[in-house]
């Protein structure tokens, strides 16, 4: 939850666990299944409608809601959940939000939604393009994806 003046906003983020890349994110004044559904649809389209997906999350109402579960079922996406009360099961997301709050949100007082939106957009670009990750051997998410794409291309050309 992020405050803009006296209004609460919620950020839904979907990260690819392979590269730790933020593939989709949305801000909303309501934390509900609609926010999760729209964000998942964005991610699904951004990745070219892949098959054989698994979606892991905590057990928040937005992810256990029938609308969200029906969407995943219709796309043949396997859903898995963290154990209740165990944030370590969802460590990549916990780590992302911890860094995001520490590096960006806690340093700002937003008066207008547009300020928050600009800050979030800027951080997501920074996170994917410039922020090295220890778990990625100090590469950025986009570097990891670029390296993978090159390795696939080189295997195909052999």
pLDDT tens track for 47-105: 999 999 999 887 778 888 999 999 999 999 998 876 676 555 678 888 899 999 999 99
Burial class (CB in 10 A: 0-12, 13-18, 19+), 86: exposed
pTM of the model: 0.88
CATH number belonging to the domain at 2-156, selected among 3.40.250.10, 3.30.420.10, 3.40.50.150, 3.20.20.70:
3.30.420.10
Burial 109-123 (b: 16+ CB within 10 A, else e): ebeeeeebeebbeeb
Residue 20 has pLDDT above 60, yes or no: yes
CA distance 11 to 6: 16
The Cα-based distances of 59 to 8, 34, 40, 81 in angstroms read 21, 16, 16, 6
Residue 25 has pLDDT above 80, yes or no: yes
User: For the chain, what are the domain ranges?
Assistant: 2-156
In 65-140, which residue ranges form alpha helices assigned H by DSSP? 66-74, 91-103, 113-129
Task: Read off the pLDDT of each residue in 122-142 and give the average, rounded to a whole number.
Answer: 96
- What is the band of 143 on the pLDDT scale with cuts at 50, 70, 90? very high
């Amino acid at each position: 939850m992020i405050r803009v003046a006296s209004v609460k906003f919620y950020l839904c983020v979907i990260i690819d666990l392979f590269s730790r890349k933020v593939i989709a994110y949305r801000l909303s004044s309501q934390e509900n299944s609609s926010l999760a559904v729209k964000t998942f649809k964005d991610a699904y389209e951004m990745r070219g409608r892949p098959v054989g997906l698994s979606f892991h999350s905590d057990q928040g109402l937005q992810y256990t809601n029938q609308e969200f579960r029906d969407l995943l079922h219709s796309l043949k996406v396997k859903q898995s959940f963290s154990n209740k009360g165990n944030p370590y099961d969802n460590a990549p997301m916990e780590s992302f939000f911890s860094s995001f709050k520490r590096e960006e949100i806690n340093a700002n007082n937003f008066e207008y939604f547009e300020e928050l939106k600009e800050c979030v957009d800027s951080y997501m670009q920074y996170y994917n393009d410039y922020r090295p990750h220890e778990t990625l051997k100090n590469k950025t998410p986009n570097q990891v994806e670029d390296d993978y794409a090159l390795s696939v291309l080189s295997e195909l050309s052999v």
